[in-house]
Amino acid sequence: MIQLASSVQTVRGACGHDCPDTCGWVVEVRDGVAQTLAGDPTHPFTRGTLCAKVNHYLDRVYHPDRVLYPLKRAGTKGEGKFVRVSWDEALADIASRWRAIVDETGAEAILPYSSAGVQGLVQEASLDRRLFGSLGCSALDRNICGAVAAAGLTSTIGTGTGIDPEEIVHSRYVVLWGTNTIVTNLHYWPFVREAQRRGARIVVVDPIRTRTAEAADWHLQIRPGSDAALALAMMHVIIRDGLVDRDYVSQYAIGYDALVDRVKEYAPERVSPTVGLPVADIERFAREYATIQPSLVRPLIGIEHHRHGAMQFRTLACLPVLIGAWKHRGGGLARSTHKLHFAVLDMDRVKMPEVQKPGVRVLNMRDLGKDLCDTNLRPPIRSVIVYGANPMVSMPNQRRIREGLMRDDLFTVVHDLFVTETALYADYVLPATSQIEHLDLSPAWGHLYLALNRPAIAPRGESVSNTELFRRLARALGRTEDYLFESDESMLRAALASGHPWLDGITYERLWEEGHARLNRPEGWMPFANGGFATPSGRAELYSDALREAGHDPLPWAGDIPSNAGLQLITGKQLHFLNSGYANMERHRRRAGELFIEIHADDAAARDVASGDAVVVRSENGEVHAVCRVSDRVRPGVAWMPFGGFADAAGERRSVNALTAEAPTDWGGGSGLYDVFVEVVHGLSHSSRRRRSGHHPDNMAGGHDAQGSHLMGIENPPDSGD
């Protein structure tokens, strides 16, 4: 620690939120109390600024509603009445309930349910995998985010990642394809701007005119779910006009001739109504993309939440192959860097697959409601422990999840910092530490900097980190194996000791001193400049036997694009919330405003609703109350609602996932969250719900939250929202 004054210390850490930026931060602590938390100016990605949420992270740490002690349910499930109990009492009760379940129905009746609420090497997934894995509990397919994108890309290029995203500055044509960089990946924006400054054209493909689309050089407002059709039309033009890199394709790809046949069906004239773009735009986009090199496709996850999500990503991945974009520095495709970190760290040493019982059943996280309510499931789920996740808000079919969590015979434990929408249904709520109260190593999915998160203050109240919780549970269950009690530091050191050259010189001690280090990717690293795709054939697979064998179309395909009488509802990330988080904080709720739905003027007129009207939004699965916003950010036939932990206007904490269904994707195990169609009708208290004006539609930062926005290269910070 750097000693500033006798009792003031500064401690470096890293943000643990589920976000590609994984910012480095510096916490100033006086007498054991954190005074300030600011972006680390030495971190090349963070550049000294945080974001509209984490600027207020200390308000979360010291929030009066923090759960500081174990709580036991005192009312009915969902009612939110709890009493404080000791850790000993809670642990003893949980252990005895679990022992009984294991004896009666086997450990598979217990479902550990976690997501990426805390991202980090040991807090996200380590001792839990060892404990629950060795008990033989049901395993969880954690595929709601990124897995479908990765699976789709992998079928074409053998990986879900691509070039180092920082290489974008060498690109001359950048396609932000289904990603809202300014809102979800803010610290990447300066790199996009730098590319633009050096002459790159920035194109956004998104059905919504997001802040990012507004800031780009060109916005292609595509129909949702039709990206593969657009990519196929581009390939049609590229092939028709002789813009294929024949050398690259013949050396490093397979299936070219089959692709040529396939794209014949996708002439721009035919595709235009499907994608909702003029023929001239498709032609121009294809030609610019192919001829202005290096060109870069940058998707994150927006496209994957559709029933053909994997096929869409697989199809996108054909584009840079066809034009040989991988040969140019800054060219190709750049998506999550998750794999680059986790491939070099020794993750087996952390998760210890060898102690995990093989052959246990695997349940998909998106199916939580379905599985909890399934009376035919053998064994039934009799207990669920939720940590780092808030499925009542974030998983599809909220009504069914609630129905499941209401079951009298379900024993539910939730470990979190707050009594979340999910924790309301718990038998026990156990207090979790915040990121400034525990140790972790923080790999990033948006860049190559690996950071060490050092605890800056002691755990508040009786809160414990995830790893400490699992040690306590193991002890309460009478387990004695050393591997269940390994310290955080020991696991982190072991993970760093993989011997991988990209980790050379990146030691625990160095990270302790410097806070972060960039993986040693070689200067000018271009993973596929000379082929080397990790597919079954070793080449980029424009035609895939593996897909054919798995029962999918072996060639890129547009999919059957959903259509329906209603409005297709896209729900997306927003500035003031981090997934379900921050909705419990007054200032963030105020800035985000009431739950709203944006629809186009034509659709509003057809339904006789106007901006400010209270409306009920209905799908086949459920309904939520919202305020109507008539907006030209959306195209006719498409509606947008913000995803997050809102209390809906009826005050029932219904989230947008009250409208969605479990609907699996083609492959990759995700959910077609955005394939839902809704209707909008007048709500009850119509006149009383006239909206205040002044909220920017994209929840863009303003006022104090815009702090540092000039550094991010965002001009004209919009209105403040309050």
Ligand X SMILES: Nc1nc2c(c(=O)[nH]1)N[C@H]1C(S)=C(S)[C@@H](COP(=O)(O)OP(=O)(O)OC[C@H]3O[C@@H](n4cnc5c(=O)[nH]c(N)nc54)[C@H](O)[C@@H]3O)O[C@H]1N2
Show Cβ contacts of residue 544 under 8 Å, excluding neighbours closer than 6 positions.
155, 156, 255, 314, 535, 554, 555
Taking CB under 5 A as the rule, does residue 673 contact Mo ion?
Answer: no
Binding mask 306-335 for ligand X (x = CB under 6 A): x-----------------------------
**Interface pick for ligand X out of 643, 646, 667, 677 (rule CB under 6 A):** 643
User: Rounded distance, CA 73 to CA 424, Å?
Assistant: 9
- Residue 432, binding choice from ligand X, Mo ion, none, Cβ under 5 to 8 Å by partner class: ligand X
Judged by CB under 6 A, which stretch of 88-96, 343-351, 566-574, 615-623 contacts ligand X? 566-574
Nearest residue to ligand X on Cβ basis: 302
CB atoms within 10 A of CB 272: 19
Nearer to Mo ion, 145 or 469 (CB): 145
- Residue 398, binding choice from ligand X, Mo ion, none, Cβ under 5 to 8 Å by partner class: none
DSSP per-residue string spanning 150-164: HHHHHHHHS-S--S-
Taking CB under 6 A as the rule, does residue 571 contact ligand X?
Answer: yes
Judged by CB under 5 A, which stretch of 141-149, 215-223, 597-605, 614-622 contacts Mo ion? 141-149
With beta carbons less than 8 A apart as the criterion, state whether 722 and 591 touch: yes
> CA end-to-end span of the chain, whole Å?
39
Taking CB under 5 A as the rule, does residue 145 contact Mo ion?
Answer: yes
Nearer to ligand X, 391 or 556 (CB): 391
CB atoms within 10 A of CB 261: 9
Minimum distance of ligand X from residue 579's CB (angstroms):
3
**Interface pick for ligand X out of 27, 656, 678, 680 (rule CB under 6 A):** 656
User: Rounded distance, CA 569 to CA 325, Å?
Assistant: 34
Taking CB under 6 A as the rule, does residue 205 contact ligand X?
Answer: yes
Minimum distance of ligand X from residue 177's CB (angstroms):
6
Q: Tell me the number of residues near Mo ion by CB under 5 A.
A: 1
Taking CB under 6 A as the rule, does residue 117 contact ligand X?
Answer: yes
Taking CB under 5 A as the rule, does residue 149 contact Mo ion?
Answer: no
Q: Is the dihedral of CA 413, 418, 423, 428 positive or negative?
A: positive
Q: Is the dihedral of CA 281, 286, 292, 294 positive or negative?
A: positive
Minimum distance of ligand X from residue 338's CB (angstroms):
11
Nearer to Mo ion, 149 or 169 (CB): 149
With beta carbons less than 8 A apart as the criterion, state whether 316 and 231 touch: yes
**Interface pick for ligand X out of 206, 598, 603, 666 (rule CB under 6 A):** 206
Taking CB under 6 A as the rule, does residue 388 contact ligand X?
Answer: yes
With beta carbons less than 8 A apart as the criterion, state whether 441 and 511 touch: yes
Taking CB under 6 A as the rule, does residue 577 contact ligand X?
Answer: yes
Instruction: For strands 8-14 and 2-5, give the pairing.
Output: antiparallel
Q: Is the dihedral of CA 699, 705, 707, 711 positive or negative?
A: negative
- Residue 315, binding choice from Mo ion, ligand X, none, Cβ under 5 to 8 Å by partner class: none
β-bridge partners, 682: 615
With beta carbons less than 8 A apart as the criterion, state whether 259 and 555 touch: yes
**Interface pick for ligand X out of 544, 580, 619, 665 (rule CB under 6 A):** 580
Q: In the Cβ-directed half-sphere of 139, how many Cα atoms lie within 13 Å?
A: 16
Binding mask 685-714 for ligand X (x = CB under 6 A): ------------------------------
**Interface pick for ligand X out of 202, 208, 368, 429 (rule CB under 6 A):** 208
Nearer to Mo ion, 304 or 623 (CB): 304
Phi then psi dihedrals of residue 607, to 5 deg: -110, 0
Q: Mark out the alpha helices in 119-219 (DSSP H runs).
A: 121-124, 127-135, 147-157, 181-184, 189-197, 211-215
**Interface pick for ligand X out of 22, 466, 535, 665 (rule CB under 6 A):** 466
- Residue 420, binding choice from ligand X, Mo ion, none, Cβ under 5 to 8 Å by partner class: ligand X
Judged by CB under 5 A, which stretch of 142-150, 386-394, 467-475, 521-529 contacts Mo ion? 142-150
Judged by CB under 6 A, which stretch of 129-137, 242-250, 449-457, 565-573 contacts ligand X? 565-573
Taking CB under 6 A as the rule, does residue 175 contact ligand X?
Answer: no
Taking CB under 5 A as the rule, does residue 15 contact Mo ion?
Answer: no
Judged by CB under 5 A, which stretch of 121-129, 139-147, 462-470, 526-534 contacts Mo ion? 139-147
Of 621, 495, 473, nearest in space to 128 by CA: 473
User: Rounded distance, CA 418 to CA 423, Å?
Assistant: 8
DSSP per-residue string spanning 353-409: GGGSPTT--EEEGGGHHHHHH-TT-SSPP-EEEEES--HHHHSS-HHHHHHHHT-TT
Q: Which two tokens stand for residue 249?
A: 């394709």
**Interface pick for ligand X out of 39, 136, 225, 721 (rule CB under 6 A):** 225
Minimum distance of ligand X from residue 143's CB (angstroms):
10
Q: Mark out the alpha helices in 477-530 (DSSP H runs).
A: 488-496, 508-514
- Residue 577, binding choice from Mo ion, ligand X, none, Cβ under 5 to 8 Å by partner class: ligand X
What residues make contact with Mo ion under the rule CB under 5 A? Answer: 145
What residues make contact with ligand X under the rule CB under 6 A? Answer: 18-19, 115-118, 123, 144-145, 177-180, 183-185, 205-208, 210, 222, 224-225, 227, 300-303, 306, 387-391, 394, 415-418, 420, 432, 466, 570-575, 577-581, 643, 656-657, 660, 673-674
